[in-house]
Structure 1
Amino acid sequence: MLPYEPSQCEPTPNLFALGLSSFLCFGLVVSYLPQHLRIYQTKSSEGLSPWYLLLGSTSAACGLFNLLILQWPKVRCCAIISTASCFSATLGLLQVAIAWVLFSIIFILFLIYFPPHLLFEPPLLEGAVADKKAKTTPLWKLSVGLASVTAIHFIVTLAVLVPLLLRLPLPHPNPNDAPDIRLSRIADAHGLVATILAVSQYLPQILLTWNEGFIGSLSIPTMIIQVPGSVAFVVSIAIREGTSWSSWMPYAITGFLQSGLLVMCLCWKQREKRLGIDDFGRPLLEDDVNGEEDDERTPLVGAER
C-alpha cells in the first residue's frame, strides 16, 4: 500500500521542464546516431579508448542510479496515477536512462567492430606459420575485461538497489518532499562517484587521440551536437523536483571535457587534409577520390604534427 493519496502524486505542472526534457530525449538519439553509424559504416572502432568507454558507461550508470533513488517516490506514484502523469513525473529519469543506453551501445559496437589488425598478435618471425589458435592482443583482452567490469557493476548495483528501494519505508507523507536521509546519502554517493568517473572519463580518450594524431572512429557531428546540448541537459535535470547537485554535476563536467576533445578532433581533421591521410592515419590514394578505400593500408607512424 502506498503512503500517498492520488492528489499528492499528481506532478506539479512545469511545462518548461516537460518540454525541455522531451526535446532532449529526442535530441539524445539524434546526437548519438552519427557515432553509432560511423562505427557501423567504417566497420572499425579504432581510435576509441576502452578506458573511456568503461568510465563513461559506469558514470552514466551511477548517474542513472542517483536519479532513480532521488525520484523513487515519483516512480512509486505511477501505480496510482495516469500514464500521462507518470510520464511527466519521471521524464527526467527516462532522459538519463536513454543517455546510459545510447552510450552503452557504443561500447557494444566497439567490441563487435574491434579492428582486426589489433585483435591478434602477429607472428614473431616474418613468414612464420601462424599457430592454429592465434593469440589475441593485450588490448583486446583489456577491452573484454573492462566491458565485463561495466556489465557486472550495473547488474550487481541494480540487484542490490531495487530490493532496497522496494523494502525501505518512506516516512514522509508527500512524494514531493525531500527523500529519506538514508536514500539521500546513497544517492549523493552515486552522484559523487558519477562525477569522479566523469572527470576521468575523457582523459584517456583525449590522451589516445592526441598520441594517435587522427580522429579514428570518433564522430565529430556527435560531439558538435552534444557539447551545446550538455548545457540544456544540465538545466533540464537541475530544474526538476527531487534532484540535487549530484544529479547534474557529472553531465556538466563531461560537457566541458567533451568540448576539449572536439577542438582537438577539429585540429586533427585539418592536419589530416594537410598530410593527405584519412581519419585512421592511412595515406589517401587516387582510388579514394573515386570512393574506393583500401582497408589494408598501414597507418602512418610518427607523422608530423
Structure 2
Amino acid sequence: MMELGTFVASRCEKLQAPSYLNLSLSILILVGILVSYLPQHYRIIARGTSEGISPYFILLGTTSGTSSFASILVLPASRADVACCKTVSSFECFAGLLGIAQVGVQWFCFAIILLLFLIFFPRNPVLPQTTAVKPPTWRTALGVAFICLAHGLLVILISAWFGFSKQHYMGTLANVLGVMSASLACVQYFPQIWTTYQLGHVGSLSIPMMVIQTPGSFVWAASLAVRLGKEGWSIWGVYLVTGCLQGCLLVMGIYFELQARKAGNDFETDATARLLADNTLQADFLETDDEGNTVVENGGRTERTPLLSNRGK
C-alpha cells in the first residue's frame, strides 16, 4: 500500500494540474443537480400535498444519499484532496473538491424532499375505496423520518470511530458505505414505480425533475469515474443504477400523462382548483369522480387531502 504521505503528495500534484474540460463539466453538473431538484420541491409546494410519492422511495433515497455522501467523505482520495487544500491554491482546491460538493448537494436536495414530504403529507387521504393503492399513514411517514435520522447519526458515529482509531480501514469503510448506497439505490425506485403504476398518474412526482436527472445521472457517473478512478466504483456506480431505474419511472410517468390528455383528464386543473378551494371555500373540498370531473362536496374538512383522481384498473 502506498504510504500516506506519498499518496497525499500525488493527489496534491494532480490537483495542481486540473483538467479544465472536467472542471467545466463538474461545475455544470453541480448546477444541474441543484436546478433539477427545484421542480420537485416546487411541485409539492404548489400542489399542497405530497400524495403520490411513496414513503419507501423517500426512505431508500435518503438513506442511499446519506451513505453515498459519507462514502465520498471517508474515501482516502477525498480526504487527501481536502488535506491538499492547505498547500494548493484556492482555485485548485475548489476544483478538487467539486466531486464532494456534487454528492453533498444531491443529498441536501433529497433531504429537502423528505422535509416537504412530511410538511405536506395528506393527513386524511380520500382515495376511493376501490383503488388498489393503500395510502400511507402519518405514522408511516414519521417512521420514515425517524429511520432516516437514526441512519444518519449511526453513519456519522461509525465514520468518526474509524477516522480516529482505524484510519487504515477508511478505504474499506468507503466501499462498504458505497455498496450500501448502491444496494439501496438499486431498490429505491421500485416502490415509486409500483405506486405510480397503481395510481396511473405521477401525483406530486415531478416529470421535469426526472427529465433532467435521468441523462444527468450518466454524465455525473462519468465525471466521478474520471475524478475518482476505479477506486471510487462504489460511488459513481450508484448513479449508473439510479439513472437506469429513474429512466423507467420517467417513461411510465410520461405514458400516463399522455394517456390522461387523450382521455381529456386534466389533473393539474383539478389540483389548482383544489388549492383554490382550500383558500376560499374553507370547509368545502374538491375531489374527482371516476371520469376525472371535479365534484364539490361539503365535507367539513380543513386538512389537505390527495388531489389524484381514481383510475379504474
The normalised TM-score by structure 1 is: 0.80
AA aligned opposite 2:125: L
Say which is worse superposed, 258-267 or 2-11, in terms of deviation. Answer: 2-11
Matched, 1:153 2:151: yes
Say which is worse superposed, 194-203 or 158-167, in terms of deviation. Answer: 158-167
Distance, in Å, in 1 between the alignment partners of 2:311 and 2:190 is 22
Where do residues 278-293 of structure 1 align in structure 2 (5 Å cutoff)? 278-279=266-267
Distance, in Å, in 2 between the alignment partners of 1:6 and 1:84 is 18
Distance, in Å, in 1 between the alignment partners of 2:270 and 2:174 is 51
Distance, in Å, in 2 between the alignment partners of 1:197 and 1:104 is 16
Matched, 1:36 2:44: no
Equivalent residues of 1:56, 1:197 under 8 A apart: yes
Q: Quickly say closer, same or farther: Cα 1:261–1:16, change in 2 above 3 A.
A: same
Deviations 1:214-239 (A, max 9, x none): 11001111111111111111011100
Q: CA deviation at 1:65?
A: 1.4
Q: Quickly say closer, same or farther: Cα 1:103–1:138, change in 2 above 3 A.
A: closer
Q: CA deviation at 1:195?
A: 1.1
Which one of the candidate residues 89, 94, 106 is aligned to 1:99?
A: 106
Equivalent residues of 1:49, 1:204 under 8 A apart: yes
Distance, in Å, in 1 between the alignment partners of 2:209 and 2:62 is 17
Distance, in Å, in 2 between the alignment partners of 1:14 and 1:188 is 26
Question: In structure 2, the residue corresponding to 1:87 is in which secondary structure?
Answer: helix
Q: CA deviation at 1:284?
A: 5.3
Question: In structure 2, the residue corresponding to 1:99 is in which secondary structure?
Answer: helix
Q: CA deviation at 1:167?
A: 5.0
Q: CA deviation at 1:21?
A: 1.1
Q: Quickly say closer, same or farther: Cα 1:244–1:42, change in 2 above 3 A.
A: same
Which one of the candidate residues 237, 242, 245 is aligned to 1:257?
A: 245
Alignment correspondent of 1:225: 212
Distance, in Å, in 2 between the alignment partners of 1:36 and 1:63 is 21
Alignment correspondent of 2:311: 303
Alignment correspondent of 2:234: 246
Q: CA deviation at 1:86?
A: 1.9
Distance, in Å, in 2 between the alignment partners of 1:223 and 1:266 is 10
Equivalent residues of 1:118, 1:140 under 8 A apart: no
Distance, in Å, in 2 between the alignment partners of 1:31 and 1:45 is 18
Q: Quickly say closer, same or farther: Cα 1:205–1:83, change in 2 above 3 A.
A: same
Deviations 1:240-292 (A, max 9, x none): 04642111111111110001101111111122223333438xx959x96xx96
Equivalent residues of 1:191, 1:247 under 8 A apart: yes
Equivalent residues of 2:44, 2:50 under 8 A apart: yes
Equivalent residues of 1:238, 1:245 under 8 A apart: yes
Q: CA deviation at 1:155?
A: 1.9
Distance, in Å, in 2 between the alignment partners of 1:304 and 1:225 is 31
Q: Quickly say closer, same or farther: Cα 1:296–1:23, change in 2 above 3 A.
A: same
Q: Quickly say closer, same or farther: Cα 1:220–1:162, change in 2 above 3 A.
A: same
Q: CA deviation at 1:157?
A: 0.9
Matched, 1:203 2:201: no
Q: CA deviation at 1:196?
A: 0.8
The number of residue pairs the alignment matches comes to 271
Distance, in Å, in 1 between the alignment partners of 2:161 and 2:81 is 17
Equivalent residues of 1:6, 1:81 under 8 A apart: no
Where do residues 50-199 of structure 1 align in structure 2 (5 Å cutoff)? 50-70=55-75, 71-118=78-125, 139-166=137-164, 168=166, 180=168, 182-199=169-186
Deviations 1:74-107 (A, max 9, x none): 1223344333222111110111111111111111
Equivalent residues of 1:35, 1:222 under 8 A apart: yes
Question: In structure 2, the residue corresponding to 1:214 is in which secondary structure?
Answer: coil
Q: CA deviation at 1:46?
A: 0.6
Q: CA RMSD in A?
A: 2.8
AA aligned opposite 2:92: S
AA aligned opposite 2:79: W
